[in-house]
Amino acid sequence: MKVIEILNFNRELLKKLQTAGIRLEDVYYIDLYIDYTRLLDQGEKVSYTVAILSEKYSVSERKVYALVKRFQSDCKMTAV
């Protein structure tokens, strides 16, 4: 299967995701966010949690903060 075939087949879904403000690369960080919420629920401090996840997922602490902010934001209303 060619890339264009997959894009064409999923065109509407991809357009809706983009309109909602979702980035394709966000899928790589779902586990990071799940770990973030789990650690906070266990009573860990935010700064400690961010440092741990930064190391575990090999991203900067700034990236972790940005991902958490993006994942906690509401979808754009025009998309839903």
Q: Is the pLDDT score of 36 beyond 70? A: yes
Q: Which domain holds residue 57?
A: 3-79
Residue 55 amino acid letter: E
Mean pLDDT of the chain: 93
What does the alpha-carbon distance between residue 49 and residue 11 come to, in Å, rounded to a whole number? Answer: 37
- The predicted pLDDT at position 77 comes to 64
**Domains in the chain: how many in total?**
1
- Residue identified by tokens 């995701």 is 17
- For the entire predicted model, the pTM comes to 0.82
H-type alpha helices, 3-45: 3-9, 11-19, 30-41
What does the alpha-carbon distance between residue 35 and residue 39 come to, in Å, rounded to a whole number? Answer: 6
Q: Is the pLDDT score of 78 beyond 80? A: no
